[in-house]
Structure 1
Amino acid sequence: MTGVHDDAVAVLSAWAAPTPDQSAIRYALLTHLAARPDACERACVPGHLTASALVVDAAGEHALLTLHPRVGRWVQLGGHIEPEDPTLQAAALREATEESGIDGLTISAAPVHLDVHPLTCSLGLPTHHLDVRYLVRAPAGAVEVVSEESVDLRWWPLAELPDDVAFGRSLDLSG
């Protein structure tokens, strides 16, 4: 996954973090990428990059969340980077499309948020997800379809997002 690794370095190097906390996470991700050529692979047990998407409706008033079967909470769509993903952005869009069942999604050019969280993921080992998050817009009239990767999907008013969706309430949707 050399291509997506190089893309991650370029994307995060160019990204202007909106807060000091986000800048610190950006630096940590870049340091991890410099130390680990396998940082984008789920087999990187100390932690690996993941790609997520906050999917909002065409009006920018609701976000589509998934009831995640592994974590048991409502969270944004996203997941592991696959070998065929050429970029972080492509991985986030693929995940959003697969998990929402919605065609015609459009994705922000740059990430909108970063997060690091502990998780026991699909390999069954405790690790950290180094999550690069993008804003994705659904077309008008989009109807979600629950996939095998989700217990349920639901559109949430942005003002009523669960606390676990750390970046949803403060996200600037104007861009």
Structure 2
Amino acid sequence: MIHADDIRVDVSAYLDRYPNDATRLESLTDALTRLDGDLTDRSTLPGHVTCSAVVVDPRRRVLHIRHNVLGTWLRPGGHLEAADTTLAGAASREVREETGIHTKDLELLSPVPVDVDVHLIPANPDKGELAHHHYDLRYLYRTRTGALTVVLDPDEVSGHRWMPVGNVQPAHLPTRVAQQLA
């Protein structure tokens, strides 16, 4: 099970590496300081932690999935589960669940997130969820092989594509990925 201290450690290491992001992440660091609820629980409002994987193949392309609920292209990721023991592990679990790519086919390049993003998730009346923020910790993985079979979870994902790393958003991400792949 992941605790607030685990999140603090990863966010602190991230801000040590990318100190210019401190202002952008004030809402997350404030939430970690206040502890207004369990940030690992998807019902915690006004926001909670999620984890995503930036999966890069040998051709320097990044895996994206078409998220059914949000109707947009994202990197694989999602909410934490009670069985998760690390934040990076939660990200790789989401890759397996959404794309069928097994964790043994992925290599974590750093235990420090390559990016942390705060974004608004719109209300979802079907799930009884109000609009809220995701504090998304993004971990960089490299595929161990170029020949991967992608099997999508149709309940969550309606497509996948590999995008050249230079075309990936946000704008600072391609440089960070390239630095860690070097």
Q: Same fold (TM over 0.5)?
A: yes
Conserved in 1, the CA contact under 8 Å of 2:115 and 2:173?
Answer: no
Q: 2:150 aligns with which of 144, 149, 158?
A: 144
Residue identity opposite 1:23 in structure 2: A
Aligned length: 169
Residue identity opposite 1:98 in structure 2: E
TM-score (norm. length: structure 1): 0.85
Conserved in 1, the CA contact under 8 Å of 2:66 and 2:158?
Answer: yes
Residue identity opposite 1:144 in structure 2: V
Q: How does 1:62-141 map to 2 (within 5 A)?
A: 62-103=61-102, 104-107=105-108, 108-120=110-122, 123-140=128-145, 141=147
Conserved in 1, the CA contact under 8 Å of 2:140 and 2:177?
Answer: no
- Tell me if 1:156 matches 2:163: yes
Quote the residue 1:41 is aligned against.
Answer: 41
RMSD: 2.0
Residue identity opposite 1:146 in structure 2: L
Conserved in 2, the CA contact under 8 Å of 1:117 and 1:129?
Answer: yes
- What is the CA-CA distance between 1:87 and the residue it aligns to? 1.8
- Tell me if 1:31 matches 2:30: yes
- What is the CA-CA distance between 1:44 and the residue it aligns to? 0.4
In structure 2, runs of 5+ residues without a counterpart are: none
Taking only the aligned residue pairs, the percentage that are identical comes to 34
In structure 1, runs of 5+ residues without a counterpart are: none
- Tell me if 1:173 matches 2:175: no
For 1:159 and 1:173, the matched residues in 2 are separated by 9
Conserved in 2, the CA contact under 8 Å of 1:50 and 1:79?
Answer: yes
For 1:170 and 1:71, the matched residues in 2 are separated by 27
Higher helix residue share: 2
Q: What's the CA shift string for 1:57-101, capped at 9, x where partnerless?
A: 034x11110011111111111010111111211111111222221
Conserved in 2, the CA contact under 8 Å of 1:4 and 1:87?
Answer: no
